[in-house]
């Protein structure tokens, strides 16, 4: 071993020592720092959690409030509609959707017949006066065009004419019978 070898050994040793010593210091420092950091982080994390929980509660409360407000406004709007509209909805959407009558057009007569059919065949219970309101409202909002007017009042005219004809024939038959009877009576005397 020359002079250089005698130098290298202690150098290496001191380097090794310094390395360990350094490493020791570094580790404790790191641990200290990291424990401080993690404590701080935990605190921040906890605060963040709490904050988002409060925000969530607040958001839910705001949503519920908005929903309640919407509902109240809707109720107000429904209650503010005209009486015939409310009555129609109350009486005529119990068994079927409003589309049943919303998709139809009739004359006053046609609507009167529809509502009468609902009353007699489907046993819709209407208070006195309600039928008139409902029929008038339906006639006003869903009136019949010319074709429907001709059809519905035409059907009414034909039925009235038919009934009149039957009555007239009946009266004629009774008269003829009476005449025959009185003729037979004349013959018998
Ligand atoms: C108790 C149940 C019930 C109620 C309440 C009711 N309906 Fe009906 N409605 C029926 C049934 C069942 C039918 C299908 C059979 C039929 O056409 O008669 C029907 C069918 C209808 C139709 C389609 C058939 C048609 O006549 O052209 C219309 C329009 C109608 N309803 C209007 C009304 C109106 C207007 C009211 C409110 C006055 C009303 N309904 C209330 C039971 C009901």
Which ligand 1 atom is nearest residue 92's CA? 37
Residue-wise pLDDT tens digits, 77-102: 999 999 999 999 999 999 999 999 99
The CA 101 to ligand 1 mean position distance, Å, reads 8
**Sign of the Cα pseudo-torsion (116, 118, 124, 129, in order):** negative
Averaged pLDDT for residues 43-47: 91
Mutate to test the pocket of ligand 1, among 105, 118, 127, 138 (most ligand atoms within 8 A of CB): 118
pLDDT of residue 18: 60
Cα(170)–Cα(164) distance, integer angstroms: 10
CA of 138 to the centre of ligand 1 (A): 13
Contacts of 155 (CB under 8 A, 6+ apart): none
Give the whole-angstrom CA distance, residue 186 versus residue 179. Answer: 10
Which numbered atom of ligand 1 lies nearest the CA of 131?
38
pLDDT of 16 over the 70 cut: no
Pocket of ligand 1 (CB under 6 A): 91-92, 94-96, 100-101, 104, 114-115, 117-118, 121-124, 134
Please report which confidence band the pLDDT of residue 2 belongs to, taking 50, 70 and 90 as the band edges: low
CA distance 19 to 93: 89
Residue 125 has pLDDT above 80, yes or no: yes
Question: How far is ligand 1, taken at its centre, from the CA of residue 161, in Å?
Answer: 29
Band (pLDDT 50/70/90 cuts) for residue 8 is: confident
Q: From CA 65, how far away is CA 69, in angstroms rounded?
A: 6
- Distance (Å, rounded) from C-alpha 23 to C-alpha 9? 21
Within 13 A of 130's CA, how many CA atoms are on the CB side?
16
Position with higher pLDDT, 170 vs 20: 170
Q: What is the spatial distance between Cα 66 and Cα 68, in angstroms, rounded to a whole number?
A: 5
pLDDT at 99: 94
What does the pLDDT read at residue 12?
Answer: 72
Better-predicted residue by pLDDT, 60 or 36: 60
- Of ligand 1's listed atoms, the one at least distance from the Cα of 117 is 18
User: Is 60 exceeded by the pLDDT of residue 128?
Assistant: yes
Closest C-alpha residue for ligand 1 atom 27: 114
Position 11 scores a pLDDT of 73
């Amino acid at each position: 071993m020359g002079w250089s070898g005698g130098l290298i050994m202690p150098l290496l040793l001191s380097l090794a020592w310094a390395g360990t010593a350094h490493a020791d210091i570094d580790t404790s420092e790191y641990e200290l720092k990291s424990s401080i950091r993690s404590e701080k982080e935990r605190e921040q994390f906890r605060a963040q959690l709490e904050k988002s929980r409060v925000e969530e509660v607040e958001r839910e409360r705001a949503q519920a409030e908005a929903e309640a407000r919407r509902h109240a406004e809707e109720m107000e709007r429904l209650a503010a509609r005209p009486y015939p509209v409310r009555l129609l909805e109350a009486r005529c959407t119990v068994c079927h959707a409003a589309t049943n009558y919303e998709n139809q057009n009739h004359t006053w007569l046609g609507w009167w017949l529809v509502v009468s059919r609902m009353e007699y065949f489907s046993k819709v219970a209407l208070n006195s006066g309600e039928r008139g309101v409902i029929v008038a409202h339906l006639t006003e909002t869903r009136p019949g065009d010319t074709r429907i007017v001709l059809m519905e009042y035409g059907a009414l005219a034909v039925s009235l004419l038919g009934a009149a004809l039957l009555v007239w024939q009946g009266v004629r038959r009774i008269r003829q019978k009476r005449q025959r009877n009185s003729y037979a009576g004349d013959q018998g005397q």
